[in-house]
Amino acid sequence: MLSIKNLQAKVEDKQILKGINLQVNAGEVHAIMGPNGSGKSSLASVLTGRENFEVTGGEVLFDGKDLLEFSPEDRAREGLFLAFQYPIEIPGVSNINFLRTALNEIRAYHNEPPLEAKEFLRLTREKQKLVEFDAKLTNRSLNEGFSGGEKKRNEIFQLAMLNPKLSILDETDSGLDIDALRIVSNGVNKLRSEKNAFIVITHYQRLLEYIVPDFVHVLYDGRIVKSGTKELALELEEKGYDWIKEPVTTASV
């Protein structure tokens, strides 16, 4: 589904991705871990096409298409979804109106007619229930005045509504208490299927107890320095990141 080869990118003059290689297939969950500043969120930004990130080398294929050629909105329409670390507030725009616009834009891209109001409401109710999202929040302005936890849950609700092929969860666990973490993880687990895939970016092993990954990668200094299975996450939890850093430092000497 997603094939990243030697991806390099910079922000202003700072090289932040220094050659990322990653293969994600349908049905898989990949966790990306790493210390602060290692490039985890930057990877998400580059994949989704945030402006001020400049790709300086490498390629990204998404279902065989050159992802980097697409505008941010077309990447989303192709089926790429980012659950934001810091979801944005948009005053006066109702959550539901926003979602209907988004859904119908994506449908139009695939030459599908807009959803009938009735059908849309049915879908909304179904997904609200699936990810345990408070119906009251559906009619409020997009993220405006939501608590940190509510914002994160809204990201998962949007994910459920838009049904993307590949979802990137960018530190979705940060700022969540244990109950919210459970609800968010349950939502994701219910949405997992043979047809979609997830990249879970996190600092902590804690989230991975709930969303069990097939693969764990450690990002450090703009490169994936170690890959393994879920046991790697446990090892990191135990030893910290220092032992990962050493081989890189040595190599660069």
Partner 1 sequence: MANNSADILEEYSDKEYEFGFVTDIEMDIAPRGLNEDTIHFISAKKKEPQWLLDWRLKAYQSFLKQPEPHWQNFELPKIDFQNISYYAAPKSKAKYKDMNEVDPELIATFEKLGIPLSEQKILAGVAVDAVFDSVSVATTFKETLKEQGIIFSSISEAVKEHPELIQKYLGSVVPHSDNIYAALNAAVFSDGSFVYIPKGVRCPMELSTYFRINSENTGQFERTLIIADEGSYVSYLEGCTAPKRDENQMHAAVVELVALENAEIKYSTVQNWYPGDKEGKGGIYNFVTKRGVCRGAHAKISWTQVETGSAITWKYPSVILQGDYSSGEFYSVAVTKNKQIADTGTKMYHIGKGTKSRIISKGISAGQGQNSYRGLVQVGSKAENARNFTQCDSLLIGDRCGAHTFPYIESKNKSATIEHEATTSKIGEDQIFYLNQRGIDTEKAVALIVNGYAKEVLNQLPMEFAVEAQKLLSITLEGSVG
Least spacing, CB of residue 50 vs partner 1, in Å: 6
In one letter, which amino acid is 59?
Answer: E
Binding pattern to partner 1, positions 66-85, x when CB under 8 A? --xxxxxx-xxx---xx-x-
Q: Measure the CA–CA gap between 24 and 215, rounded to whole angstroms.
A: 9
Does the protein bind partner 1 through residue 112 (CB under 8 A)? Answer: no
Per-residue interface string for the shown chain with partner 1, residues 141-160, x marking contact by CB under 8 A: xx---------------x--
Distances (CA, A) of 221 to 15, 35, 47, 246, 248: 10, 9, 18, 12, 9
Single residue of 6, 25, 56, 101 touching partner 1 by CB under 8 A: 101
Nearer to partner 1, 76 or 244 (CB): 76
CA distance 242 to 34: 10
Q: How far apart are CA 138 and CA 209, in angstroms?
A: 29
Using the contact rule CB under 8 A, the part of the chain among 14-22, 103-111, 195-203, 204-212 near partner 1 is: 103-111
Instruction: Using CB under 8 A, pick the residue from 5, 18, 50, 192 that binds partner 1.
Output: 50
Instruction: Please state, in angstroms and rounded to a whole number, the distance separating the CA atoms of residues 252 and 201.
Output: 26
Which backbone phi and psi does 158 adopt, to 5 degrees? -60, -40
Residues 227-238 as b/e (b if ≥16 CB within 10 A, e otherwise) read eeebebbebbee
List the interface residues with partner 1, window 2-21 (CB under 8 A).
none
Question: In angstroms, rounded to a whole number, what is the distance separating the alpha carbons of residues 158 and 171?
Answer: 16
Interface with partner 1 includes 49 (CB under 8 A)?
Answer: yes
For partner 1, the binding residue among 12, 13, 51, 231 (CB under 8 A) is: 51
> Could you tell me the smallest distance in angstroms from the CB atom of residue 82 to partner 1?
5
Residues making contact with partner 1 (CB under 8 A): 48-51, 68-73, 75-77, 81-82, 84, 87-88, 90-93, 97-98, 101-103, 105-106, 109, 141-142, 158, 162
